[in-house]
Each structure stands twice: as structure tokens, then as C-alpha cells.
Amino acid sequence: MNCGVRMELDVKVPMRDGVRLSADLYLPDILGPHPVVLIRTPYDNNGAALIEKGRRLANSGYACVIQDCRGRWDSEGEYYAFHQEGPDGYDTQEWVGRQPWSNGRVGTSGGSYVGTTQWTSAPHRSQFLKCMVPRVTPSNYWESPNYTQGAFQLGVLMTWGMRTNGRTAQSIEYHRWTELFRTLPLIEADRAGGRDLAFWKDWVRHASDDEYWQQINNEDKWDQIEAPAFNMGGWFDLYSKATFVNFNGLRLHGGSPQARQSKLICGPWPHGLSLSTRTGDVDFGAGSMVDLEGAEQRWLDYWLKGEENGVLAEAPLRLFIMGANQWRDEWQWPLARTQWQKWHLHSGGRANSLLGDGVLATAAPAEENPDTFVYDPRYPVQTLGGNNCCSPHVVPWGPYDQRPLEMRGDVLCYTSPPLERDLEVTGPIKLVLYAATDGLDTDWTGKLVDVRPDGYAMCLCDGIVRARYREGGKAPQLLVEGQVYEYEIDLWVTANVFKKGHSLRLEVSSSNFPRFDRNPNTGHEFGMDSELRAARQTIHHTRAYASYLLLPVIPS
């Protein structure tokens, strides 16, 4: 189909409280009514990429509605991140479904915050909403983008928050970020950046997983979502884990048979999906690129136009396996054939840096000396790639060589002998750590690294836990000085073949800054503290305290 396009710009859509949100309409210039694709964005509905997409969809027989979120650009009202999008999205879907150019079948599209506008509105159950295509989106908003096992995601929240604080895009290019990230107390960081952000202060004040976050989370609302979702994500995205949580949530618990037919694709990409063969400083080859717009349209064509194009006959999961650099179809997550292996930490008590004696092996430890280091928040371990967003020139994203960090004495390195055969690790990764500190609170970090024969150390995934949140987000508990605790650190997800001759490496430390804020080690109220103290850290690996990395190994 190749239709002409008729545009209606700045159409005001009324919300339940009388606020009017601005929408641009791209309509096929043929007799309707038509199925509708709705895109709700805080990033300007008049941007070139969205105009091009709106016109392309209209050319394909869809009415496309692209709307500015409340308080942004041409829409009325006051912008406040996340919480307003559920009701506003539902009201817009109901309005769209009743327009004369609409046939009452509505799909939603977009990534990041534009995916958030989809997920938060879906549980409201508009009668017109038939499918979604959310890219790189959260599932649990306390966990990501805000707190990850209790550690504040400083880099993304400061850079993204300051860019979206006004009605239009705000420049952040001229801040001295090395200074701004170190602002204390943290609740005053918005003012240090020249802003006064109500949502920033609320994020800091709600350090625990309370009702503030529950209002917008997906994870307790799967049975209220009836629209199927085609989830799109990247292994190096801020929402790599969340993409799979959202997929499983609807596949297993969705509120309709249609919702339980959701799909997922995940490639070796950062937050901007399939824009280049290169992520970080690794080139994954031409085969890593996918026409996501074409895949999205097949999904829309099936659910909104009723085209029998075979999209549901395909495997629900399509995964790019790094190392092998190949795409593979799968049917469940984690994979049914997964062999869960414990890889234990070993050393003679000197695992500090890659020059130390730390070893990663499947054999359980005997009675071994613990490893110790000093974590000083004045000199934190710097972020060097990983699952970051959304300003790569400020906080780099993707895989980078970790050796500059691994030369630090406050980074413990546990490395396997070179592999005698290929080893595929695909699935969720967990680190179980037995550790103690000399204070009331601290952080523990873990990072899985693929070490090539030439020494290049490629980060795959990582995680962090704030010690006071070791029992979960709702019940912070300070520590007893010197007591050994068990910590389960979620390192999120990956899919990688460690090739013959490569080694596995686990890094353990207590900071990853500025991706995460620095734990001051004081145990004081979060975000209100200007005091910093150094902490003496101890990692145990004995029969009684057998720290290990749990890996999802896929048999060849």
C-alpha cells in the first residue's frame, strides 16, 4: 500500500482533568476508518525521525498519532516524570479509538520513556488498545532506572533528569560533570546543576521500594494487561534485564490469551538499538544489525490489520549470541536446557588487581585466606562502559577493555584458566558473596568479563547491592560491624560464548561511579549525607562462606 498523507498538527486532546495535550496526526489520504499507531513522547512530537515515521505509517494505511506528553512542548499542564503517563495514555487511547478516522484498533510504539508511556497506560485497559511495541523500557521503576538493589543510578538520573526538566529540551553540555556528580548532599544536586526538580527530590526521598514506585511498576500488574507486547532490548542497555522481565511477565501471567503471545528480540546493542555494528569498542559485525522498524510493522500488521503473516508461528525469542556473533531463536527464558554452574572464588588472600592471585573455578574452596581492600568513596572505581544511559559522552555505554580498572588495588579479580573448549553463558547471572565491612553500610559490586588471549577484558554485565537493602527494597537494615553477611548480587543478563583460549573473570569491588552514587559508608539517611568515610572490606571464600558466581551454561 502506498497512500498519500494528510496531516493535522497540534490537535488538542482533552484529558480527564481538562488539560489538553497536543497531538500531530498523520492520516492516509484514502477513505477510512484506519487502524491507529499511537506514540506518546516527552521528546518533541515534531522531531524529524518521528515525522518520517508518522508519514511512513500513514503511507502503509495506518493513522499515526504522535503526542507530546503533559507539560512538554505544545501540550498543556505540568511535566512530572513517569507518574502521569498511565491516566494520560488511557485517556488518549479512548479519544483516539472514537475518532471518525479510527477503526477502533490501536497499537502503541516507541522506546525508553516512550515505552514507559505504553506500559504505564496498559493496565488501565482501554477497550481500543490491541498491541504494543515497547523498546528498552523498565519493569520495576525502583530497580531501574532509579535504584538497583538499593544503589542510586546517579549517571542516568542526573543527565536525563536535567535534560527533561523544562518544557523543551535543556542543554547539559556545559556542566562540569566530574564535579557535579560528586555533589553532596545528593538531594541538592539539582540545584548544583542550576535546576529545581520536584521529581529529583522525590526520587532521592523515596530510597526504598515504597508505594511511590509501586504505583508505576509493571510487575504487580501483568494480569491487568491484555495487549500483547513485542519487546525490544539490548545486552548493554540500561533495561537489559527489564526487557526479559516484561517478556516473561506477559507470557506467563498476561491478562488475556493475546498478551501471553508476546515476543522479544535482544541484540548486542546499547540503549539506541541497532544503530551501528559497533557498541563500545567492539564491532559485532554486519549480521548484528536488524530492521527493527520492519519487524515492528509485521507485529502491527498482524494485530491491527489481521494480516496472517506468520509472526506468531515464529519462536517468541530472538537472541544475538555474542562471541559466536550469531542470531538464535528460543522459546523460553531462562532457556530450558540451561545447566546452572557454580564458579567459586579462590585466592591466597591477594586477589587485588589483575596482577593478584584470584582464581575463578568450578571446584569449591577449601580453607582460604579472605581478600581485603579499602573502599574510599573519595576515590571510587570509575564507570568504564556497561549498561548505561543516556549520555554516552558523559557516562560511556557498552563493552570496553576493563584492564585500566583492574589495575586498581580496590578491584578484586578472579580469573579462570584459559578454556579448553567454547563455553556458552546465556541467561540471568547471579553473584553470591560472603562479605564483611567495618561500618554500618556499604556497597558490593560484581562484573562478568570475557578475557581474550591477548588480555583484552570485555565487560558483559554487572550489578551492585547496597548492603542495607540485602533483604530487599522494602526493608533496609544496617549492618553489624565486622559481621559476615550473605549478599545475592543480580548481575542482570547476557548471552556470550567464551571462546576456547579465553578466560572468565569476575571483578568484585564497592563502587561503579558515576553510574551509581558513592556509598558514603556512614549508614546515615540516603541523600542527606555530606560525610564520607573509608571502609575496610573483606571477601570470604571458605567451606563455610563459599562465595560463587552462578552461571547459566548452555550445552553445545
CA distances from 91 to 247, 469, 483 (A): 25, 37, 53
* Residues facing residue 513 across a β-bridge: 382
Considering the candidates 60, 102, 112, 510, report the single residue annotated as catalytic. 112
Active site (annotated) includes residue 24: no
Active site (annotated) includes residue 541: no
Q: What residue ranges in 311-419 does DSSP mark as E strands? A: 317-321, 326-330, 339-346, 359-361, 371-375, 412-415
Place of cell 496472517: 308
CB 140 within 8 A of CB 242: yes
Return the C-alpha torsion angle 111, 431, 515, 202, nearest 10. Answer: 70
C-alpha cell at 492: 542482570
Active site (annotated) includes residue 112: yes
Other residues' Cβ atoms within 10 Å of the Cβ of residue 216: 21
Which of these, 351, 386, 373, 354, lies nearest to 513 by C-alpha position?
386
Place of cell 547471579: 430
SS3 for 149? coil
Considering the candidates 126, 240, 262, 271, report the single residue annotated as catalytic. 271
Which of these, 373, 408, 372, 429, lies nearest to 548 by C-alpha position?
429
* Residues facing residue 330 across a β-bridge: 317
Who's near 356: CB < 8 A, 6+ residues apart? Answer: 347, 350, 412, 413
Considering the candidates 237, 371, 401, 410, report the single residue annotated as catalytic. 237
Categorise residue 417: left if φ over 0, alpha if ψ from -120 to 50, beta otherwise: beta
Catalytic residues: 112, 237, 271
